[in-house]
Each structure stands twice: as structure tokens, then as C-alpha cells.
Structure 1
């Protein structure tokens, strides 16, 4: 069952909204329109009461220190929404004030509001997210998401946080965590819960805000007083979230030693033991370089000195690169599976060559299929593997070139952005021939243009930017 989370049992402070009017009166930039597709609606309390079946337990989506969240079937406008009912001692004015000023597809956006007539409680109506939270996906009993989904979630969240930090005035979320990341109907991630968020320029916010707020395990250790607040506090929390996405471990888990994911992960990253960080339920990704970049980025985000942490623009660009690499390698494996038959997992042979541990090739004429699991493959030092196949009868060769290598040379020779490509060539075979797809380009046709083997040989290591 999907829900809109308000899980904040470990939140240690809330924001005082009494002085927000001074900050909210600033005019937004004309070149940054709100672009809100749905007008904020003032609902009647009776409509929300009936649409939630009297705020019944059957419609309860979540409960936390700020209040409860209910699923609402707004039949008169044919919409399913989530209604946040605040506790009397913890009003929703702050969240409403912030969400009413902004809109972004990577946020759980505001739809409307209502006021309970008797107790004068505020009800905030927001978008309904049917696929639960990222916390449930990572730590729940169901099938864990794979690397492509995890890296996509990370990019989408980075985009959301960057949007907040670059708004006018800026917004500091202060409570970024996996339970505040919800998954929509298209399985995209959305940032939720602005109950602790602060809107305004840092100098103004430091004067008006209460003591440090956040969730234990995600809270920036540098944020000890209102004067320490900055966007880098969100960057620290985001770094914890990246480690959580990589490892499948909670920010604080007493079942492990050390219980803090930072204390466990950062030493492993410094020693280069990146595969030790991976969620054991899915193992490391096909592209080891993507894992390395993502892990190092997380370590930079959780640095003890806030000034040394990257900004969210840099974080997002790095994660976009990681996502593209992960998706491309994953699609390459799927395409090869479909073209050649059943292909085993890619196992790294060295930094420039990968081998197919098991393969299956068939003859279209007689329908015969032979299994060559465990066949020996030898690298000749220039990115080629040679093997023997009984079904083919003669030697065949498989050539692999890393994506970054080809991209770099396309950039140098064409001055453009380049085209990602991976080459798989099977010679001396009628039944297989040349395998290529949208992301697999015939190496022989490009050999003369790029002169990859002649120009590069075994020098593949210098093309990756070090993120340390």
C-alpha cells in the first residue's frame, strides 16, 4: 500500500514559523516561474472528512511526531491525494508556507489545504505517492531495487535538493532521509516532508530559526548551533542517503558494529574496498567505475568539514554520469543476452577487458546448440579475447572496449559529446556473425576512423577523472 510518510520519531526539533512572513514577502525572480500545473485549492473540511471516511484507520497512511497522514479519494475532482492532519502542538504552517511558493516534479507538491473548524487544526493536502518510501524499498522484505533504479533515484533526489538550494530565496530541507523519499506511480523518487525546512537566505534564517533540527544518523555533526546552518548540512544528509542506497544499510543500525554507516563505510572507501560496501542482496554493479565514483562522492559529502563538501550541482552532475554508465552497461548486457543467447555474468579480467564466463551459440540451419560454459579465454593485451567453439568449428574472437575510452576519442576527434558504444564482434561464424544494437557498434567499421587499438594499446587508466 502506498503512503505519504511523516515518519519522524527521531526528529529532535521543529521550526518556529512565527517570523516567516518577513522572509516570504520577497518577490520571486521573473525568470523562474512557478509553473504549477494545479492551482492550490482551499478544500472544505467536510469534503476531506468524507473523502477519508472520517479519517478512518483504513485510510491511515502514516503517523509521526508531526501528525497523521490519510489517503483521500476526492471524487468530486477525480483525484487521490494525501491529507496531513497536524497535531495541535505541531502545526503545518511552515510546510504549507514553503510548498505554496514552490513546485517541482521531484517534490511531493502541495494541492491544497483546509482548516478544522472546531480545533482549528491545519490540514495540508499533497500529492499521493502509491509506491511507498525509499526506506521500504531498501530495507523492506520485498525484492530490493537494482543498480539502475538506485542510481536513478539518487539523481532525481539530487535534482530536487539542488532545486531547493537554488530557489529564490533558498530552501534548506534539514531532514533528508530515506523515509522522506517517496516513490510515485511512475516509480520516480520525490522528496517529501518540509516540516523542518527553512526558507530564506542563510543570514536571515540563522537569526530566526530554532536550535538545530534533523534526524539522528543523518544530522550534520557540524550543525551544532543556528549559526552553523548552511546548504552543506543538506549535503551531509544526502551523503548518508547515498551510502544507504549503495549498501542497503540504515544510517544507524545497532545490529552492526560500528552502528553508524559513516563510521563503517568511509574507512572502506579510503582503502579502496568499494565492493565491500555493496548491498549483498544485489552484489556490485557491472561497471566497477560507477561504484567507485558514487562511493567517493558519498565520502566527500560526509566530510567533517562542511566547507570541503561539494555543492549539490557537482553532486548531481557526478550522479548523472554514474547513472548513464550504469544504465549503458546494463543495457549492453541485456542486448548481448538477446542477440547471442544465454550469456553469463561479465567478470572483470582487468581494467580494459571483460570476458563472458559462459555463452551459448546456436546454428540457425540445424537448430543445434552447444554450451561452452567455462571455456578458456585469453587476452592478447589489446582488448581482445580468443576462444574455440565446437558449434562454430573455427576460432572466434570477442573484442570489448570500455565506454569511456570510445567516448573520449570521439570527443577529441569530433569535438562533440560523442556516442557511447561497446563492441562485440564474432568472426568466422555463419550462425552468429556480427552482433550489434543501438548501443553496440561494429568495431571493424570504426577502426580506421578512431584508430583505437593503434593509438591507445593498453593505456586505459588515464581517462577517468579522480573524484578524491
Structure 2
């Protein structure tokens, strides 16, 4: 452990170069949008699933219906994506009116809506299935590439701990994505929002385990995926506090064959990005492990990764907390005081030690997500939980198999607007004069469309002080 926080990684310049936008045909997607949906084929994980489900992988039929998992709760690699018209989504969200707004971000805005569960047609508020509709802002920070990445990854990967993509809208200049609705919103809301209820120790562990399962699934797929933007605002919760990863706009295909990393522009969120990735642009699965360590630290402390309202030496959570985590006599000082001692001291110590390992400066010393998951799961054993934990809570969190509830990204607006706290580590060149065209579904499914291609509709983001331009 002593080697984890040695010499500081030197920052380097010259990371702003990007690949030019690929010129691919729109015709196939347009025709699909006017007819049936798109059945997606994608990478499958190998080996047993960590959520206790079956190893069996099955393709979901390309007939109308919601994306679904296998009967045993395992992962599937394809599901039907429904092509919505803009008029239908406008009606489902009641003309995108303000009281339907769930949150806003660089991509655009997310609205709550209602559709019929069988026909997918819009219905009145309070009826049918709740959905979340993400509407692209053509002049926003993150545009076509994120929209394409969501289609590519959530259209081909299906797991209980990944948010379900129900469908999409590609019509004229409109770009929208339709997700299941997750009623409890983001982990960010519960840790840093104004909720009167403190997230219990057991539920914090459960959420961490679910998120670890999601990342493990991505990393262990036949075609590995690097999530690249793991943070509390991207972890959504259903009514039973089952956690799912959302927002795959920055996800990237992982290295294959003899390659050890993927070299790409620095993209992510300040405070969560791994130091070696920021310094060199080299992306690996261990970059996600670092981000997981930051989130696990936020879960333990109840503090944001970066908060300029804190005292100077405490603004960066990792820099403030790691000296305590490395000291066996002081590690408990970082724990969230709102827990009021309602946690297992032994379990909390193990979780704190795991966070420290994930935050090692040397990525080679960090555990894999599979190892992280194997370390976390035993902590939900009743013997590792507080003895005075209510039995109802124990029953709720003890199940390792997620329950499925209607869902879509729901976020507390004040908490969701974290631009003042988080700075994106993204470089964009000047908009190209060439028209940006979507790839065909075959290109998307085959992974030929890089998520780093630049759209002329996107505006430059603020550059983090961590990186020199």
C-alpha cells in the first residue's frame, strides 16, 4: 500500500488532437425510424454473472416490447429499440413543459413522460409506463457523439445494473433517447441533496455493490467497454435502491488483442478522472477503477469529490482523505457523521481500505473491478451489518438480485446542476464546415463509429486546470 501514493504524475500537453468525423450514411436509420425498431446485437460477457443470475445469454426477440432481462436476472446482449416520432414524445412529455423537467446537463434536458406499455403510444399523466426522455440541445456541449454512444452501448449491452434504453427519435434535427424511469433519482441526490433522510449504511453498500456489478459487466464483456465517466450523478436508483449506471455518452471501446490501453482525448469529470489518464490520454479499465474509488470515498464520507466551499485543504476529497485512510488510527475520521455510528466498524474499515487501493497512483496496483466486487459483496452479510439495523431494511438490501421498476433518469434539479462543482475534461476543436452524418445501425452495432468524433453542433467546454491545452 505504501507505493500507492508516491511521486505525482506529471501533466503533459498535446492531448487535444481528435479524429475527424466519419462520413456514414443516414438512410438506414431513417428507414428504420419510419418502420420497425432496430434489434441490436452486441458483446456478451464471458464467465458467470456476479449478480447471481444464470450464465445463459439470450437474444431478446426483435418484436415490439420493452427491453427485458432473462428470467433468471442475468444479462442479455440485444434488445428491441423502439423508433419514436418527435410528435409522440412531445405528447408523452406534455410538450416538454417545465413541470415535466427532471434535470439538465451538457447533453440537453431530461423530461418525464408516459407511454402505453404495449403500443408505446403517449398516454395521459398518471397512466401507462413512466419514461425519461433525454432531449439533445443542438447547441449544447455534448451532442451527436454522445447520442450515438448511448445508442451503441445501451443498444447492445443489457444488464440489471445498466439503465434500460427503450428507444430513440431521429427526426429532422431532433435527437432524443427514451429510458426507463428510475423513481429515486441519482445517488448524488441522496448523498448531497436536501433530503431529510440519510442514506443508511446498508443501502450505501448495496448501491456500491450494484455499481461495481455494472462496471464489472462492462469490463468483462467479450468486447470490453470503458465507462469513462463514473460518478454519483450517473448512478440512478429505483424504488428498492437498486443502482444502475446511466449516461454512456463518454463510454469507449476498451483495448483488444495485445493492446494494453486506448489512447484518446481526455474526457471525463474533474475529481473523478484517473491521474495517469489526465496526464497521458491512455485509457484502461483501471481508469474506471480509480473513478469507482472516488465514488466509494464519497459514499463513505458523504462529501463531494470536489467542493470549493470547503476549506482550502479539503476541497479535493481524494487529497484530503487519503492520508487518513492510510493511517489505521485515523481512517474512521473520514466517515460520514450523519451515519451516527450506524455501521459495522469492521465493514467500514474494509470498505475504506478498498477505496484506498482503488485510488492508487500506480494503476497496476489497483484491483480489477471483479476483485473490487468480490471484496464488497461479503460486507452485505448480516454479520457485517450493524446489529441494531431494522429487520425490514435488512430484508430489503440482503437480496442480491435487483427488482425491476419503471424508471428513467430522475434528478434533483439543484443537485443535478453541478457544473459549478465539476469541470469537464474535454477538448473540442473548432466546428467543422462539413455536415455531420449519423452512421447506419450496422456501423453502430459493429462499433465503427468512434465516440470521440466531433460534431459541428457542439460548443467548447471549460478546460480543467488539470490539463494544459
Alignment TM-score, normalising by the size of structure 1: 0.62
The equivalent residue for 2:191 is 138
Say yes or no: does 1:260 pair with 2:316.
yes
Question: Superposed, which structure 2 residues align to 1:10-409 within 5 Å?
Answer: 18=21, 32-34=57-59, 36-37=67-68, 39-75=80-116, 76-77=119-120, 78-88=128-138, 90-91=143-144, 92-117=147-172, 119=173, 121-142=174-195, 143-201=197-255, 210-224=264-278, 228-254=282-308, 255-256=310-311, 257-272=313-328, 273-325=330-382, 329-330=385-386, 334=390
**Deviation, structure 1 residue 329:** 3.5
Gaps of 5+ in 1: 1-11, 336-468
1:116/1:123 contact within 8 Å kept:
no
Gaps of 5+ in 2: 1-14, 25-39, 47-55, 61-66, 69-78, 121-127, 392-469
Larger Rg: 1
Closer, same or farther in 2 for the Cα pair 1:204/1:81, shift >3 Å? farther
2:379/2:385 contact within 8 Å kept:
no
1:72/1:82 contact within 8 Å kept:
yes
**Deviation, structure 1 residue 264:** 1.5
- Alpha-carbon distance in structure 1 between the residues aligned to 2:43 and 2:390: 50
Closer, same or farther in 2 for the Cα pair 1:220/1:283, shift >3 Å? same
- Alpha-carbon distance in structure 2 between the residues aligned to 1:313 and 1:264: 27
Closer, same or farther in 2 for the Cα pair 1:110/1:266, shift >3 Å? same
What is the count of residue pairs matched by the alignment? 319
- Alpha-carbon distance in structure 2 between the residues aligned to 1:87 and 1:14: 24
Q: Deviations over 1:343-387 (max 9, x none)?
A: xxxxxxxxxxxxxxxxxxxxxxxxxxxxxxxxxxxxxxxxxxxxx
- Alpha-carbon distance in structure 2 between the residues aligned to 1:16 and 1:59: 37
Closer, same or farther in 2 for the Cα pair 1:206/1:122, shift >3 Å? farther
Closer, same or farther in 2 for the Cα pair 1:43/1:299, shift >3 Å? same
2:45/2:221 contact within 8 Å kept:
no
Alignment TM-score, normalising by the size of structure 2: 0.62
1:165/1:172 contact within 8 Å kept:
yes
- Alpha-carbon distance in structure 2 between the residues aligned to 1:194 and 1:224: 19
1:202/1:230 contact within 8 Å kept:
no
**Deviation, structure 1 residue 236:** 0.2
Which structure shows the bigger proportion of residues in helix conformation? 1
**Deviation, structure 1 residue 52:** 0.8
